[in-house]
Amino acid sequence: MKIAAGNPLLSELRQMAATAANQPLKAAMNSPSGAPNGVSEIGKGFGQVIGKALEAVNQQQIQANDLQYRVEMGDKSVSLVQAMIAGQKASVAFQATVQVRNRLVSAYQEIMNMPI
């Protein structure tokens, strides 16, 4: 499945990757605890990006469910077409999120299986 270029999750992930690539390695390794500073900062930013993306997907699903409910209850201000389009948008967003998660898990497993 190909993820649409206009997907906000994809654009935020690309932005995070670009930010991570521009971090100087020497500054990232200056930590009293021994853990690289850049890694913890990137991890926080990445977590925030993922959290925002999941919240956006959740909001799309809530909106689609609300529109579907309103159509079922006979609300004349909402058309069946609006409810179906919102449902499809929520479905595509969820599928894209699942694909990103699968890629992240795959990358993590590949990193963990690398010989040291």
Residue 61: predicted pLDDT: 96
Low-confidence spans in the chain with pLDDT less than 50: 1-3, 24-35
Which residue carries 């993922």 as its tokens? Answer: 50
Residue 4: predicted pLDDT: 52
Nearest to 56 by CA among 107, 1, 96: 96
Residue 66: predicted pLDDT: 96
Residue 85: predicted pLDDT: 96
Nearest to 82 by CA among 93, 73, 70: 70
Nearest to 53 by CA among 23, 87, 84, 98: 98
Which residue carries 């190909």 as its tokens? Answer: 2
Buried b (16+ CB within 10 A) or exposed e, 91-116: ebbeebbeebeeeeeeeeeeeeeeee
CA distance 72 to 74: 5
Residue 47: predicted pLDDT: 82
Predicted TM-score (pTM) of the model is 0.60
